[in-house]
Structure 1
Amino acid sequence: MSTDNNTAIIAVTAIGKALAASIKEALAADCYVPAKLQSEGFAALQPDFATGMRRLFQQYDALVCIMATGIAVRTLAPVISDKLYDPAVVVMDEKALHAISLLSGHVGGANDLARRLAELTGAAAVITTATDVQQVAALDMIVPSVPGWIPDFRENCKRINGLLAAGKTVCLYEEVPIEIDRRGFTPVTNPHELPEQAEALVWVTHRYRLPELSMHSVKLVPKTRVLGVGCRKRTEPEQMRQAFTEFCIQYDTDPHSFAVMASIDVKKDEPAIKQLAEQWNCPFITYTADQLRVVEGKYPVSEFVRQTVQVGSVALSAADLASGGRVLTSRFAVDGITMAMGERTTRNDGVKA
């Protein structure tokens, strides 16, 4: 992002500009207009209207276009690419009669933005995505809301959403209890005993691998686990990756389960840990020896480790602090690398559970 705000409002008339001014603060948005309407708080689209609007499409997470739908469509057509990456685009008329979710309704958030604009202005939110019209859940909304991970995001979302919108039987097995939109799903208590009419199964789990099933199944992995990790100085990144794989297999945990990785602050620049965290898109947080010592009494300690980093337990203590005290495993050790796993029930250190 090259902007401080994530939303841009674009108006093309004086009346539309007044509407933009009335919603600007509520959306924390930047406002843009053609050069002839430029004034304080309203930047001119440069070097011309079409080019400027296309640039905003590539700079912001959301666009509110106060103009005719045709203008928005024809202007943005050359830069529209993919619903997984394009920004949300909502079109409003200048009298605020309608707020139309035009692009990226689910992943981009245009549907929610249209509803928000309706609340602010009294407009009617116009939403045409099939799952919303049928008032059923949408997998591409569920996954980020958990937050979680599924394999083959695009294809699985398309398939499951299509079945739900068509009123087909899609079973939901929650091995891991989470807050989830269940509209349209058929909850089950045994993934091996499904209704005859079932056409697909969404399995909410942390398991490393699911058993083979006779129908299409999608593994939804909640990112609620934390990894405490310690290692010798200058541990090879490949050793760390192999140890992590062994750890996940031993504890039957999908690597995508981890929301955060944690260690002692002297390891904050350790390449092997940093690369592992980057590989699995996890924030890497660290604690001081003083912080770790507060909880190390719960766990077996190593005097050798204490002499090295002033605390006798790194992996377990880091997992304890990062999880709020919910450690799930004993200490795993291989090749000078130690790991332990915790489960988050709340958001810690500003990182989503």
Structure 2
Amino acid sequence: MSTVRCESVSLFTLTPGGQKLASQLRGHLPMKCYCAEKYLAHSTFSQGFEAFAGSFKNSVAQAFMRDSAIIVIGACGIVVRTIAPLLADKLSDPAVLVIDEKGHNVISLLSGHLGGANELTRYVSNILEANAVITTSTDVNQTCSLDLLSRQMCAELVDFRRATKTVNQLLVSGEPVGIYVDPDLIELLGFDIHNFDIRGLRVVAADEPIANDLSALIDVSMNGERPDWPVPSFQLIPKRIVAGVGCRKALAPNVLLSLFEQHLARHHLHPLAVASLGSIDIKQDEPALLELAKRCQVPLTLYSAEQLAQSAERFPSSEFVKKTVGVGSVSQPVAWLLSGGQLLGETLKTQGVTISLGVLN
């Protein structure tokens, strides 16, 4: 599965030779190119370049906070010294690639997995017909990595740092690590683990007992309660649940949060399985909704009454709700739109709150 990230890329060159090499990449990546001001007028390949914002160091610092990837055509040492004060966390640092001026080597320098630097390195090296230099242990040992698997799967881990460190170390050490997929995922979503990079993992069938010789188990499930496995286990939770939410005005945020958690528990769903929330746009400033989205760390999608009207015809209508917001039902048509028509379970209706769940295929 491709994990190339090209949302926002900045490329920096330090010499006219670097600008020439950059010209080979510009048609393949949506990126902004920067160089020293003195090279803007004196290089054949400077068209479309912008001058550094004061200095190379300052420009890289701005891009580090802004972009998903940074490419520098120059020496590794210069790049290392420049980004060293900027490093924050593997979960947030952008991908950083370094290319030598002759285009012989493309080096994945930072955020190889989560930032997508390794995959971007392979992509760029193919364009330049260069050598891809990737040093992460799982790649060198030709195994998958739990952090990249979670990203491919759009899934969450309860203890991300500990889980990825433990599992990846076991994999590169040649220890047996299993992966088990909850049958409910297969039945509900047609989930196929073989669509993802699982090199080095032993797939455990649903009807197969968990072998004691496994060093660890990756448990792929959206269920809030899991078995007491006989080996160390790490739950990988696909984010496939959406929720349409309607609520009365000025509802206390803690009330909505409590009811939402209860509704998930009633359906045996882990809170980390939630991918998005939605409601009607008249509720865009409702504190309870905003706080719920914040606590779940998911986007809040808002629909107009007109957008909800067509799908609302499928569900029971309330005259009071229609007079208040312009459409007779909110949570069910919202969940219908968010999930593409795949609703899950019964709608919660209590204390001026309605919550309907849906599932993403």
Match of 2:21 in 1: 19
Aligned to 1:350: none
Which of 175, 190, 193 is the aligned partner of 1:168?
175
Q: Tell me the matched-pair count.
A: 342
Distance 1:130 1:305, change over 3 A: same
1:136-178 deviation digits (Å, cap 9, x = unpaired):
1111112122211111212211111111222211111111225
How much has 1:126 moved relative to structure 2?
1.0
Alignment partner of 1:155 is 2:162: yes
Do structure 1's residue 114 and structure 2's residue 159 form an aligned pair?
A: no
Aligned position for 2:259: 243
* CA distances 1:199-236 after superposition (whole Å, capped 9, x unpaired): 11111111113233332211111111110111111111
Q: Deviations over 1:22-41 (max 9, x none)?
A: 21342222222234323453
Shift of residue 5, structure 1, vs aligned partner: 7.1
Match of 1:119, as an amino acid? N
Match for 2:214 among 195, 198, 201? 198
Q: How does 1:35-184 map to 2 (within 5 A)?
A: 35-39=37-41, 40-175=47-182, 176=185, 177-178=191-192, 179-184=195-200
Residue 348 of structure 1 corresponds to none
Deviation at 1:306, TM superposition (A): 3.8
> How far does residue 307 in structure 1 lie from its aligned partner after superposition?
4.3
Question: 2:281, 2:65 → 1: CA distance?
Answer: 38
Q: 2:181·2:206 contact (CA, 8 Å) conserved in 1?
A: no
Alpha carbons of 1:50 and 1:338: their partners in 2 closer, same or farther (altered >3 Å)?
closer
- Relative to 1, partners in 2 of residues 1:6 and 1:191: Cα closer, same or farther, differing over 3 Å? farther
Partner Cα distance (1:343, 1:329) in 2: 10
Change (3 A) 1:49 1:308: closer
- The DSSP-based 3-state class of the residue aligned with 1:56 is helix
SS in structure 2 at match of 1:26: coil
TM-score, length-scaled by structure 1:
0.89
CA separation of 1:128 and 1:240: change in aligned 2, threshold 3 A: same
From the superposition, tell whether residues 54 and 227 of structure 1 become closer, same or farther in structure 2 (CA, over 3 Å).
Answer: closer
**Greater CA drift, 66-75 or 166-175:** 66-75
Go from structure 1 to structure 2 and tell me whether the alpha carbon gap of 1:22 and 1:146 turns closer, same or farther (over 3 Å shift).
same
- Alpha-carbon distance in structure 1 between the residues aligned to 2:232 and 2:356: 33
Query: Taking every aligned residue pair, what percent have the same amino acid on both sides?
Result: 37
Q: Give distance in 2, aligned partners of 1:287 and 1:5.
A: 26
Find the counterpart in structure 2 of residue 349 from structure 1: none
RMSD, matched Cα: 2.3
> Structure 2: 5+ residue runs without aligned partners?
1-5, 42-46, 186-190
Q: Letter of the aligned partner of 2:55 in structure 1?
A: D
1:330 counterpart = 2:337: no
Partner of 1:351: none
Structure 1, residues 266-301: CA drift from partner, whole Å, max 9, x if none? 323322112211221222223344443433454444
Q: What displacement does 1:51 show?
A: 4.2
Question: Structure 1 residues 262, 58: CA separation in 2 closer, same or farther (over 3 Å shift)?
Answer: closer
